[in-house]
Chains A and B, each alone.
Chain A
Amino acid sequence: EDKVVQSPLSLVVHEGDTVTLNCSYEVTNFRSLLWYKQEKKAPTFLFMLTSSGIEKKSGRLSSILDKKELFSILNITATQTGDSAVYLCGSGGYQKVTFGTGTKLQVIP
């Protein structure tokens, strides 16, 4: 059975701090590692990491994939209150994605 574990479960930081969210995975047929941000409603896509693309960056957010140790991290630098959300990590392909429980990030002014 595929398994994705995220840590920490929740995190409170001050604006301007840097945070690191963790995701470990055990899957039988690795296709990709996906990061989503979920505010009040639907998750929105952040990054996809694969065997051929193990590092992604977009503005203050970046993510890496360690294929040997089977984990990924999501880094957010210079956090803002708008970064407050649940961050979901999942592993899978087109039709089947196994998600972790998410990390709830709260950024306080």
Chain B
Amino acid sequence: NAGVTQTPKFQVLKTGQSMTLQCAQDMNHEYMSWYRQDPGMGLRLIHYSVGAGITDQGEVPNGYNVSRSTTEDFPLRLLSAAPSQTSVYFCASSFAGGRTYEQYFGPGTRLTVT
């Protein structure tokens, strides 16, 4: 199992550009989430999904879109990048009905918006 994979690892965008951060998992997990991590701020939830076709907003959803057409994939779209979106983005997945709420995290995407 590859676990949770994210691409790209690094990205530099100019203000106003759009892009999609990719996230995939091969563990057949129902739940998937996107977090951003900023210095001194911990992990903050952007969007999450409880299954294919179902998504919801987290703590900091503005400026981001998600969709979940398959169990495996959960892309995060930046519509018009802003310097405030410079951050490290983590995708995570978890198994519904398991004995723990453990989330498995991807390696992260470091995004810089200039």
A residues bordering B, Cβ < 8 Å? 4, 6, 31-32, 34, 41-45, 48, 88, 90, 92-102
Contact = CB atoms under 8 A, between A and B. Distances in A.
Interface string B42-86: 111100111000001011000000000000000000000000000
11 contacts: A4-B42, A41-B108, A42-B90, A43-B105, A45-B104, A88-B42, A94-B30, A94-B101, A95-B48, A97-B45, A99-B44
A41 B106 CA distance: 9
Given A34-B101, A48-B101, A95-B33, A43 B43 contact: yes
Contacts of B33: 95-97
Contacts of B50: 94-95
Given A41-B107, A42-B90, A32 B41 contact: no
Interface string B13-42: 000000000000000001101010000111
Contact of A42 (B42, B56, B107): B107
Interface of B: 4, 30-31, 33, 35, 40-45, 48-50, 56, 58-59, 90, 94, 96, 100-108
B23 to A, nearest CB: 12
B41 A101 contact: yes
Closest 3 CB pairs of A and B: A42-B105, A101-B42, A99-B43
A90 B43 contact: yes
A101 B90 contact: no
Contacts of A101: 40-42
Contacts of A42: 4, 90, 105-108
Given A41-B108, A99-B42, A48 B48 contact: no
